[in-house]
Amino acid sequence: MRTLRRHARFTAAAFVQALGRDAQFRAQAWTTIVVGLIEVAVGLVPALLVFQHTDEVNGWDVGLVIAVTGMAQVAMALLGAFVVPNQAKMTDYVRRGELDGVLIRPVSTQWYAAVRWMQPSELWSGLAGLLLVAVGLAEAGARPSAADVALAALWFAVGLVAVALVWTNLGYLAFWLESVDSVTDLMATLLSAGRYPVAFFPAAVRTILLVVIPIGLATTLPVTALDGGSDPRFAVAGVGCVLAGALLTRWHFVVALRRYASASS
C-alpha cells in the first residue's frame, strides 16, 4: 500500500509540474489546442464529402461517423497528453544514459518512464471530441441507455489502454534500435485511421485496427455500444486481453532493461 501511495504521489506531482510547464509556455499550449481543433475539422471533411452522395455506408450514417471521429479525437487527446510525450523520451533515456538517474529513484523504473512527461494542453481537443460525439449521436437519433454508456466507456478504456500498451512496447525498441522516431511516426499515421468506422476498410485492415493497432476498440466499438449494437461479453474478453498485454509489457521491459549499458560503464 505504501508503494502504491508513493507512485500515486509521484504521478500527481508529474501532472502538476506539467500544468506548470503549460502555464509557463502559454503560446505553445495554445498552439497545441488550435492544432487539435484543426485536426478535428480536417478529420470530418472526408466523411462529410462522402455523405453528400449517399445516406449510409456499410450500415453507418453520417451522425454515427461524426461520433466515431469525435471518439477518436478524445482518444488521441489522451494519448497525446500522457503516452506520446513519454515514448518520445525513450531514445534519450537509452542513448544518452539518462536511464541511470531513473534507475536509482524510489519508484518503479517502468512506471517513471511511462508517466514522467505529460502535456495537459492536449486534453482541450478531447473536449471538442466529446462535443462531436454528442452532436453525432443526436444527428443519428441514438438514445443510449445508462447500460449502453457504461459499455461504451468500458470499450473506450479497453481500446485506449490496448493502444497505449502497443505504443509502449514499440517505445522499448529503443533498447535495440538507434532511434524509435520512425516507429512513432508510423504509429501516429496508423492511428489516424481510427477516425473512421472499421467497417469502411477491407477485412485485413479491420484486423489491424482491432487487433494489431487496436484503435478501433476505442473509437468504433464505443459508438456501436452507444447505438445499442455491442455485446458486453466481447468487452469482458477485451479486459482479459488487456491484462495479458500488461503482463507481456512488463516482461518486455525486464528483458529490454537487461540490454541497457549504463552511461558510466
- Find the angle CA(134)-CA(140)-CA(145) to the nearest 5 degrees: 65
Q: Is position 84 within any domain?
A: yes
The pLDDT of residue 102 is 85
230-243 pLDDT tens trace: 888 999 999 999 99
Tell whether 144 is covered by a domain: yes
Question: Considering the domain boundaries, does residue 262 fall inside one?
Answer: no
Q: What is the pLDDT of residue 179?
A: 76
Facing residues of 60 across strands?
57
The answer as to whether 63 is a domain residue is yes
Task: Provide the domain limits for residue 116.
Answer: 2-257
Residues of the chain with pLDDT under 70: 26, 28-29, 262-265
CB 249 within 8 A of CB 165: yes
Task: Specify the number of domains making up the chain.
Answer: 1
What is the pLDDT at residue 264?
53
pLDDT value of residue 218: 96
Give the H or E element holding residue 63: helix 62-82
pLDDT of residue 29: 66
Residue 143's Cβ-count burial label (10 Å; 0-12, 13-18, 19+) is exposed
Q: 148 lies in a domain? A: yes
Residue 264 in any domain: the answer is: no
In a domain, residue 28? The reply is yes
- The pLDDT score that the predictor gives to residue 77 is 93
Assigned domain for 265 exists: no
179-211 pLDDT, tens digit each:
777 877 888 888 988 999 999 999 999 999 999
